[in-house]
């Protein structure tokens, strides 16, 4: 199956700062998904990207589907304490896998008030 | 994560016992996915089921693990003769069809003594 690499692994930032994290793959993806997971809970879908070059926003979150189709970026503007959590990128496990997903290792975000 | 119900939320078993994890999908969803998450890692796909059918079990360990999604009742992930390495969080997700976004439950944390 396809594998995803996320960086950075963790970030400790001050409230109000902007955050940027990325996800790369050695193979092409036709869908990129960004999830957030909080302690004791399951992942929650933040943004879904389906087209190379696509830029999609959800409130203070913006994600982009890389032109090469091998990477994606997630930006969070003006971070607040409730942004704390682990952010995962995900994509289809293989071509035509539908909802069978492979996940990156996550970026753990900590926000200092 | 309202909608996909997993129980129990926490399960403790001794080595050699059986573990049964249950997942009730969101109303109207007939596609169920199981994932495993080890500490500090992303989710790993295990199995994809539709009512009464296993569609893809490529992520399931070859031995001791089985899954079912009967016509009536929840989906069950069964682990026989558990070992310490089975300790993990197990997440279930459901979707309306194979291409609609899946929604995750809050997981079952399995601990093996």
How many whole angstroms separate alpha carbon A10 and alpha carbon B99? Answer: 31
Q: Per the CB < 8 Å rule, is A103 touching B93?
A: no
The values of phi and psi at residue B86, to 5°, are -80, -10
In this predicted structure, what is the pLDDT of residue B101?
86
Q: What is the mean pLDDT of chain B?
A: 94
Q: Per the CB < 8 Å rule, is A42 touching B106?
A: yes
Q: Which of A4, A43, A94 to mutate to test the interface with B (most CBs of B within 10 A)?
A: A43
pLDDT confidence bin for A31, thresholds 50/70/90: very high
Q: Reply yes or no on whether the pLDDT at A1 is more than 80.
A: no
Q: Per the CB < 8 Å rule, is B42 touching A106?
A: yes
Report the phi/psi class of residue A108: left, alpha or beta, with left for phi > 0 and alpha for psi in -120 to 50.
Answer: beta
Q: Per the CB < 8 Å rule, is B106 touching A41?
A: yes
Cis peptide before A8 (omega within 30 of 0): yes
Q: Per the CB < 8 Å rule, is B43 touching A101?
A: yes
Q: With an 8 Å Cβ cutoff, is B48 touching chain A?
A: yes
Q: Reply yes or no on whether the pLDDT at B5 is more than 70.
A: yes
Residues of A in contact with B23 (CB under 8 A): none
* Residue that is written with structure tokens 């996800």 in the block: A23
Which residue in the set A40, A48, A105 is minimally distant from B42, CB to CB?
A105
How many whole angstroms separate alpha carbon A13 and alpha carbon A79? Answer: 8
Q: Reply yes or no on whether the pLDDT at B108 is more than 60.
A: yes
In this predicted structure, what is the pLDDT of residue A99?
87
Q: Per the CB < 8 Å rule, is B1 touching A45?
A: no
In this predicted structure, what is the pLDDT of residue B2?
55
- 3-class DSSP state of A45: strand
pLDDT confidence bin for B1, thresholds 50/70/90: very low
Q: With an 8 Å Cβ cutoff, is B31 touching chain A?
A: yes
How many whole angstroms separate alpha carbon A91 and alpha carbon A46? Answer: 13
């Amino acid at each position: 199956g396809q594998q995803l690499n996320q960086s950075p692994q963790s970030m400790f930032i001050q409230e109000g700062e902007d955050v940027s994290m990325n996800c790369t793959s050695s193979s092409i993806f036709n869908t990129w998904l960004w999830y957030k997971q909080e302690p004791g809970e399951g992942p929650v879908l933040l943004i879904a990207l389906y087209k190379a070059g696509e830029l999609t926003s959800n409130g203070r979150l913006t994600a982009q589907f890389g032109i090469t189709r091998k990477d994606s970026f997630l930006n969070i503007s003006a971070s607040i304490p409730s942004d704390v959590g682990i952010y995962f990128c995900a994509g289809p496990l293989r071509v035509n896998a539908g909802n069978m997903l492979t996940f990156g290792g996550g970026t753990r975000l900590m926000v200092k008030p | 994560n309202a909608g996909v119900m997993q129980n129990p939320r926490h399960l403790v078993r001794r080595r050699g016992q059986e573990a049964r994890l249950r997942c009730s999908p969101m109303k109207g969803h007939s596609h169920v996915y199981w994932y495993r998450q080890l500490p500090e890692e992303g989710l790993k796909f295990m199995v994809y089921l539709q009512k009464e059918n296993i569609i893809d079990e490529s992520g399931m360990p070859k031995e001791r693990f089985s899954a079912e999604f009967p016509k009536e009742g929840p989906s069950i992930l069964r682990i026989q003769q558990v070992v310490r390495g089975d300790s993990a969080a197990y997440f279930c997700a459901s979707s309306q069809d194979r291409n609609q976004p899946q929604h995750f439950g809050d997981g079952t944390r399995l601990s093996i003594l």
